[in-house]
Structures are given as structure tokens and as C-alpha cells.
Structure 1
Amino acid sequence: MAASGKRFPHLRLLAVISALLPMIAGCSTMAQDVRVDGTVWQPDEKTANPSAHWDVLGAENLLIQWTAFDDMSLIDGTPLPGAPYHIDWQRIGREPWAKNVILGLAAYPSESKARANVPKLVAQSLDIARTPVPLHVTGYYFPVEVDPTWTDVSSFAARLVALPRPLWITVYDQSNIGPVPLADWMQTWLPPDIGVFFQDGCGVYAREPGVARQYLDVLSERFGKGRIRVIAEAFRPVDASTFRPATPEELLPQLRAYNGYSVYLFDGPHYVPDDTIRQLAPAAAAAKGM
């Protein structure tokens, strides 16, 4: 045995290298930057002046959840009264993470109220869409969220005809009926010219990232990949009514699972600060001097 060791020292070297490879690969995986296409911003008084380096993650697209809520407008010049706080849209339009904006229209933050008042929200949304904003608007988002519990969803879909295009909506599956049943249900009512942001459900522990990826694969095969984008929920529950930012360790499996899809973080201003960005994209952050 001793002679064999002297004659073949490279075997010991190979054994050492083999043992180290998983450790090296693990370090490389942890250090590898992740990227997203965009962020979501749900404007409120706390985030009226959003500021962070989401562009370091690759984000150049901003989905603004709404520009009017509870019969008040965040944009000057609409028939609605103004909201109690002001947003500097000029400044937002200059941000590198807002090069392209999907403009959210009129909303009621209460889901039940929104679903009961779709015609009214459509009328308010048309007024908003006609009002100039200093943003590079590449599409519109109607902020009435949809899931399979909505029995009157066909009437909702019929109202979407009046809204400007390109138009996006949100679909989620908190009931966990599964990707194929969800796609089957969507096929019964979804207009062919409307895109879908699918909420991954990870923020409320509805599913794991790998299962959310299965939803994306099925929806993309059914409706076309260009019509499907994913909202990665960047929060976790603290209790029944409050949420905290997800940690980088919690976000990494989500973002890596959706590789190849158009990913938007929900939402940047509330849940993805610069400290998280530095850990998600250390190389890009260092290059920018963060």
C-alpha cells in the first residue's frame, strides 16, 4: 500500500480536489449575482419618495401598482381630488430603475371593494390614462387582482376591453388548485391581448419557489411566454396582518427558480433596501461602489 501511494501521488491530489469542488461550487453559487427585470411599487405615504439601487439587480422596469386609490389621484390633472401626499414624477422618470414604466391605473386597496366596483374603476382609469405623466409609459396595469374564487370574472374580463393597451393584470392562486387547473380556468375568460403577472405566493407561504416555477412553465406553454411575468413576493408574514422584508437567503431561492422568466420584485420600496441588494448582487454592487 505504501508503494502504491508513492507510485500514484496524483490519485491523492485528485481525491483532495474532488472533496473541495462542492465547497468551491457552493461559494461560487452564493456569490453569483441574481438579476430581475423590474420592481413593483405600491405607492403610499411611507414610500412617496422611493429610493434604492434596484438597477444594480438589473431592474429597468417599474410597475406602479396604482396612480389613484380610494377615489384620490396621485397624478395632477385628473377629475379626481388629489391624494394627501405628493410624488415627484419628474424624479421617478429619471431613475435608472424606471426607464420603462407600466402605469397602474385606479384601485381600491380593498379587494372586495375593487371587485364590486370594476365599472367605476375602469372609468377612473380611462381619465388617468388620458393624463400626461413625465414617465416612459410602455403599458398599463389594471389593479384589480384575480383568483379562481372570483365567480364573476367573465364580467370583469369584458370590462377590460375599454382600457388602453398594452394591458396587464395580476392572477394568483392562494387556493392552490394547481398550475394546470389554473391555466384551464384562465383560458375560459382571459382576453387574448392581455398579459398576466403571476404572484408566486412565496411571501405568504402558499408554495415553494420550485412549485411556483411549475406554474410559470404551464402558463407560458398555454398562453405564450411573452404574456407571462412573475411577481416574486419579497416579504414574509410577521403575523396575520403585518409583513417584514424577506431576507436575502429567503429571496435567493425564489429568484434562482425563475431563471429565464421576467421577474419583478414586490415591492422594492417597501421590502428591498440597499442592504438586501448588496447581498443579492455583490459583484454589481461593488462595481457601482455601493
Structure 2
Amino acid sequence: MSRRAFLRGSAAGVLALGLAGCQSPPLVQGVAWQLDNTHANAHGDWNRLGVTDLLLQWTAVDNTAYVAGTQIPVAPRLPDWNRIALEPWAQRVLVGLAGRFNEADARANAELLVEQSLELVRAAPHLNIEGWYFPVEVDPSWQDARSIAPLLARLPRPLWISVYDRGNIGGAALAQWLSSWLPSDVGVLLQDGVGVYAREPRIARTYADALSAKFGRERVRVIAEAFRVAPGSAFRSATAQELKLQLDAYRGYRTYLFDGPHYVPPQLVDSLLQ
């Protein structure tokens, strides 16, 4: 190699290193997708925000499966899983298992949902799966929550569940309650409660910190509600200003926007990047 060529190569290498060093951290690492018949094929540019991780809320809901190969009736339209596997925002996927839209119904049928979930694991789409999510949500008002602990033992690992605090008992109390029954190898997805005005982002951060102190940082992730309750009990997308407050508060935690297809359109992505 000539000296001139060597110098050109060296300069290019220095420039590349410099550009890499100037890259800002991602605004958010993950996006959630709550599958339904209207949103059965997610499209988005959430990777522009730095998103590489996908949380599937479920792959079957209310006895309707979004994958083939199980005994559960199949949805009218299935996602294009081959395309999803190539999306830059789906490089690591937590695959949601069997759930119900109605929370009380899900809790009452947790054992059946575990049986369906085991079918879904065997029929899981070909994605870069980093773990599994059992979408029966828990909170301290559920007096029989500990009954799902032996059911969780039947599901594959790595395994995650989600938790919220309807009664505002505080992060430390929530962590203590959860640690009294949750298996030690199950991860926790904290629903921040900001979208339903249960708390401000700075308070939600204290919840995440309390859970992290109890379970360890690697077992705790945050679900940032990218919606707001609107008049008439409807929901709207959060504004960029509202959402930035959440994302800034949760820095240091792997965070998922809930959810991308419903509430984070390209216009909101543009606004977040301005």
C-alpha cells in the first residue's frame, strides 16, 4: 500500500470513529405492538428514534391466534412475520403469549391461557426472540395474584410479566408485594401509569428505581404509555412534549412505547426528533 493510500485509509478510519463517537443515545429502545384485527400488520419508522426492540402484547387474544399451527382459531388476517423479522425495530423480540382484552377475564382464566401459551411457544413465528411475555397483568388490588406463580413455572424462560399500581401504594411497597410471590427468574415490565394520569413521569421513575433495587436492573424494564385519556373516555396519542418528559425520566432503563401502531405515527416520530 502506498503512503498516500495509507493516509487516506487512516483519515477515513478517524472520521468514522469520530462520527460514531458523536452519535447520540437513542430516545427509546423499544416499541410495543398490541395486535388486533385492525392492527394485524404493523408498519412504522420507530427505528428513527433508536428503537431496536419489539414487545408483542400477545400472539393470541380472546381465542383468536395471530400465528398458524395451534388449536386456537386463526385471525382473519395474519401479520407478515417474515417482513416483521427484517424490520430494524424488531431486532430483539419479547413474544407475548395468550391473553384477553378483559383483565378480569384474563385473571380468571390464567390456567387456560398458560395452556394456550404453550401451544403458541411451539408455533412461534421466526423472529429474533429474546424472551416471552405472559400478558396477564398484575397489580396489588388482585388479591389472588400469587396464584399465578406456579403457572408461570410452566412457561419457558426468559419470561416477563407486567405490573402496574392502581392504588398508588408507592414503588417500595409495590416492589415488596411483588417480591413476596414472583419467581426469582421472571422479569418485570413496569407500566408507568402516565397515560391514564395515575402519576407523573418523575414519580414513575421512582417506581422503576424501587423495583430495580429489589430485583436488579436487568430484571426491570419500563412501558411508557404513549397515549392519554381524552374526553369521553377515548384515547389520543401523547404529544411530543408529553412523551419526551417520560423518555427523559426513564433514561438508563430499557423502555417500550405503548403502543407503536396505535399511538406513535410518523408525525409524532418527526416531532420527537425536532
**TM-score (norm: length of structure 1):** 0.84
Q: Unaligned regions of 5+ residues in structure 1, if any?
A: 1-31, 283-290
Partner of 2:93: 101
**TM-score (norm: length of structure 2):** 0.89
Q: Which aligned segments of 4 or more residues in structure 1 are displaced greater than 4 angstroms? A: none
1:167 counterpart letter in structure 2 = L
Partner of 2:4: none
Deviations 1:130-187 (A, max 9, x none): 1141211110000000000111111111210000110000000021011111111111
Q: CA RMSD in A?
A: 1.3
Work out whether 1:68 is the aligned partner of 2:68. Answer: no
**Aligned residue pairs, count:** 251
**What SS does the aligned partner of 1:162 have?**
coil
Point out the structure with the larger helix share.
Answer: 1
Partner of 2:271: 279
Query: Contact conserved, 1:198 with 1:228, CA < 8 A, in 2?
Result: yes
Query: Contact conserved, 2:158 with 2:186, CA < 8 A, in 1?
Result: yes
Partner of 1:232: 224
Partner of 1:42: 34
Return the offset for 1:109: 0.9
**What SS does the aligned partner of 1:154 have?**
helix
Return the offset for 1:201: 0.4
Deviations 1:99-140 (A, max 9, x none): 111100001110000000011000000000011412111100
Return the offset for 1:44: 1.2
C-alpha distance in structure 2 between counterparts of 1:163 and 1:77, whole Å:
18
Distance 1:132 1:158, change over 3 A: closer
**What SS does the aligned partner of 1:63 have?**
strand
Q: 2:136 aligns with which of 138, 144, 147?
A: 144
2:223 counterpart letter in structure 1 = I
Bigger Rg, structure 1 or 2: 1
Partner of 1:124: 116
C-alpha distance in structure 2 between counterparts of 1:62 and 1:281, whole Å:
20
1:75 counterpart letter in structure 2 = V
Q: Unaligned regions of 5+ residues in structure 2, if any?
A: 1-23
C-alpha distance in structure 2 between counterparts of 1:33 and 1:103, whole Å:
25
Deviations 1:185-229 (A, max 9, x none): 111111100001000000000000000011111110111000000
Q: State the percentage of identical aligned residues.
A: 53
C-alpha distance in structure 1 between counterparts of 2:129 and 2:26, whole Å:
26
Query: Contact conserved, 1:108 with 1:114, CA < 8 A, in 2?
Result: yes
**What SS does the aligned partner of 1:218 have?**
helix
C-alpha distance in structure 1 between counterparts of 2:178 and 2:200, whole Å:
22
2:216 counterpart letter in structure 1 = G
